[in-house]
Amino acid sequence: MADFDTSHVKNIVLLGHAGSGKTSLAESMLYEAGLINRRGTVAERNTVSDYHDLEKERGNSVFTTLLHARWKGYKINILDTPGYDDFAGEVIAALRVADTGIMLVNGVSGVEVGTDIIWEYTERFRTPMIFCVNKLDDDNADYDRTVNEIKAHFGNKIAVVQYPRQTGAGFHEIIDVLRMTMYKFKDTGGKPEKLAIPDEEREKAERLHKELVEAVAGNDEALMEKYFEKGELDEDEMRDGLKKAMIHHDLFPLFCLSAERNMGSGRLMGFIDNCCPAANEMPPQKTKKGETLECDAKGPACIFVFKTIAESHVGEMSLFKVYSGTIKSGMELVNETTGVAEKLNQLFVIEGHNRTNVNELVAGDIGATIKLKNTHVNNTLHERGRNIELQPIQFPAFNMTVAIESLRKGEEEKMSAALHTLREEDATIQVEVSPELKQILIHCQGELHLAVIRWKLEHIHNLAIQFVQPRIPYRETIRTAAESSYRHKKQSGGSGQFGEVFMRIEPWFEGMPEPNGLNVRGRETYDLDWGGKLVFYNCIVGGAIDTRFLPSILKGVMEKMQEGPLTGSYVRDVRVCVFDGKMHPVDSNDISFKIAGLQAFRQAFQQAAPQLLEPINILEVLCPDDLTGSVMGDLQSRRALVEGLDSEGHFTRIVAKVPLAELHDYSSSLRSLTQGRAKFNTRFAEYAAVPFDIQKKLQQEYGKTMKEEV
């Protein structure tokens, strides 16, 4: 039998910008719960959470780590997440299975870009939230400014539960306006002394207490009536009101901390037990069919896999949340996506890199298993006879693309297998073998994300690789009409080859009139795989060329369109009219007309004012107001067209159109310009004409390459 029932399991996720103190808080919570007898520190690289070699090397969280603490009859599952936007996939996956989020805000830096990014995800999931102002023992901490920033960013739903009596090195007293008590800590932190609120703080504390009670009562009509009757709410009423308001995303309590010195973490854990919802108190899960699934230990067994970890000795470990039923060791569940039955031979609870075997896990709990051969992130597993598939995690689109090359011959297959493993672990990594660019591309979230990919490939998979700039998928088209003809003639004994084609090509656009001066006998329109169209006309009269040779002419045209005359890029948006030609009764064949069609198209294309097109992306940058000028200056150097500037709190959102060719190193440049205080995202917008000087340069480079190959 499980140690905890569903109502006594709380799942929390620690959120916040890098450096806000999430890992330190996790360490203090484990220490308070008695799971460890000595608190590690990030500086000493000995915390339970940041156990991976890469995290120790970098000095910050890179992966989401699962921990758990037993606290006063409750089990608290703790998901410690990384703070950089490059690792957004880790944060989103953790939020998907958490029932409460704890947003840490650095009392020195205030609300940072990372905080804003994460908040967008919490709004999507409607996660109950607690705010904690951390690092109040720093001499540069400013509690009032930080709280004002939080309220400016996240609205009037912020409800102050605690405030510090002093900040800086002397920080050791927290006034709690929910319990109307002052907590006084020793310099080493830990369990505080509970004291009456000093007289000089009484007026402020009572005012904040009244604001808190009114905020709680304001979200519940029954509590509001009781408040009007009594002028106060008792502890049970406050607890129930807070929980209900948090579940509906109507109220966000705010606490004070020094996570590194373990001041305030015990009180926070008590609040989690008393007021934060268990999984069975949250709204039921929605399935892909729109049905609901109640979190009930007696319901049908159902788990959702939210994370995969590749372990060198045992293979892949799948982390999951039990959304319904009771999962027992040895149980067989069906993967709704693949239809394959998977046996859960072993169940574990996780404490960083340590695993502890358990016999069962109840609805609402989080655990892990190993060796699920056909199960991946976002898969739902359920008992036989059911058809349950929970809503998948929507991971963010990529922001950065690089090409990868092996530096050692013969390791291509090994590299491919390693990239597959990385993709299994991290759904925000995409691997593409591009026949157009003739490169293997890695799409990822940014420079830091790419650094993690490199580290894993080199240190775990023992590969020698290099990242290079990906080629740009240019497109070629024309601006005017042109005509040409080409005769292909080859005689080498026996049957020869003969085919002559007269062709007109024109730039195609939607709604253009039929060809002028030509007798149209047939028309075919092709939507090209790479975008744009080819419209192919048969305008031959008098049987100059048999219609049986037209597919061969079309094949020659299409072949040249896949390697355009300017730079070898795909050609798009062209209308081709074949209006005359000649054939030989013996020597004409398909290959002859394919070659004639290809060469006629090539000649006409070069005479039709050829134009190179480049992909243009929409770029959105969110940066601090004081750095807007630097970011704008950098964008101007990248041929950017700024389309909008909007103010969001003390941040500026810049929207611009930028050529893809100018974005290769943007992640590292933006990080350098803003000291990591900005974020960006990009998406494809359109193809646009390349400036003449750049087109000329690209043509010359392509010409040199072709000569070298010859």
Beta-strand pair 574-582/641-648: unpaired
Of the pLDDT bands very low, low, confident and very high (cuts 50, 70, 90), residue 494 is: low
The predicted-structure confidence for 392-424, as pLDDT tens digits, reads as follows 999 998 889 999 999 999 999 999 999 999 999
Compute φ and ψ for 451, nearest 5 degrees.
-65, -35
* pLDDT given at position 100: 97
The more confidently predicted of residues 542 and 30 is: 30
The answer to whether 372 touches 342, Cβ cutoff 8 Å, is yes
Q: Are strands 100-106 and 9-15 parallel, antiparallel or unpaired?
A: parallel
- Fold: same for 400-468 and 613-693: yes
Question: For 223-232, 337-346, 511-520, 598-607, which range has the lowest pLDDT when averaged over its residues?
Answer: 223-232
Query: Residue 520 is encoded by which pair of tokens?
Result: 């149209």
- CA-based nearest residue to 609, from 506, 473, 704: 506
8 A C-beta contact, residue 355 and residue 368: yes
C-beta atoms surrounding 507 within 10 Å:
16
The token pair at 96 is: 């998907």
- Alpha-carbon distance of 358 to 352, in angstroms, equals 16
CA distance 90 to 80: 10
Distance CA 326, CA 280 (A): 13
3-state SS class at 25: helix
User: Is the confidence at residue 308, as pLDDT, over 90?
Assistant: yes
Of the two residues 377 and 709, the one the predictor is more confident about is 377
**Residue 415, amino acid:** M
Query: Check: CATH 3.30.70.240 for 613-693?
Result: yes
Provide the residue ranges of all domains of the chain, joining segments of one domain with +: 6-202+248-281, 285-382, 400-468, 476-608, 613-693
Question: What CA–CA distance (Å, rounded) separates 103 from 77?
Answer: 16
Spatial separation of the C-alpha atoms in residues 620 and 645, rounded to whole Å: 10
Q: How far apart are the first and last CA of the chain?
A: 74
* Residues of the chain above pLDDT 90, percent: 77
Res 493: pLDDT: 65
Residues 325-335: tens digit of each pLDDT: 999 999 999 99
Whole-angstrom distance, CA of residue 214 vs CA of residue 208: 10
The arithmetic mean of pLDDT across residues 208-213, rounded, is: 94
- Decide if pLDDT at 495 tops 80: no
Residue that wins the pLDDT comparison between 218 and 333: 333
Q: Is 521 exposed, middle or buried (0-12, 13-18, 19+ CB in 10 A)?
A: middle
List Cα–Cα distances, 443 to 433, 436, 453, 685, in angstroms: 11, 16, 11, 18
Confidence of residue 710 (pLDDT cuts 50, 70, 90): very low
397/654 Cα distance (integer angstroms) = 19
Which CATH code is given to the segment(s) 285-382?
2.40.30.10
Q: Are 268 and 103 in contact (CB under 8 A)?
A: no
Q: Which helix (H) or strand (E) holds 341?
A: strand 341-343
- Between 116-125, 150-159, 456-465, the lowest mean confidence (pLDDT) is in 116-125
| pLDDT at residue 227 is higher than 90 | no
Average pLDDT over residues 174-178: 96
DSSP state of 390: B
What are 315-327's pLDDT values in tens digits? Answer: 789 999 999 999 9
State the DSSP code for 8: G
Q: Which of 499, 475, 477, 474 is nearest to 487 (CA)?
A: 499
Q: Running DSSP on this structure, what letter comes out for residue 110?
A: B
One-letter amino acid at 565 equals P
Q: Residue 44 has what pLDDT?
A: 87
Domain at 476-608, CATH from 3.40.630.30, 3.40.50.150, 3.30.230.10, 3.20.20.30: 3.30.230.10
The segment with the largest mean pLDDT, out of 54-68, 112-126, 176-190, is: 176-190
CA distance 310 to 318: 9
pLDDT at residue number 709: 57
Stretch 615-637: mean pLDDT, rounded?
A: 94
Stretch 493-502: mean pLDDT, rounded?
A: 86
pLDDT grade for 451, boundaries at 50, 70 and 90: very high
How does DSSP classify residue 21? S
101 phi/psi in degrees, rounded to 5: -110, 140
Query: Which of 106-115, 184-193, 508-517, 604-613 comes out lowest in average pLDDT?
Result: 106-115
Q: Compute the distance between CA of residue 47 and CA of residue 69 in angstroms, rounded to an integer.
A: 15
Topology annotation, domain 400-468: Alpha-Beta Plaits (3.30.70)
**6-202+248-281 belongs to CATH 3.40.50.300:** yes
Instruction: Compute the average pLDDT of residues 607-625.
Output: 95
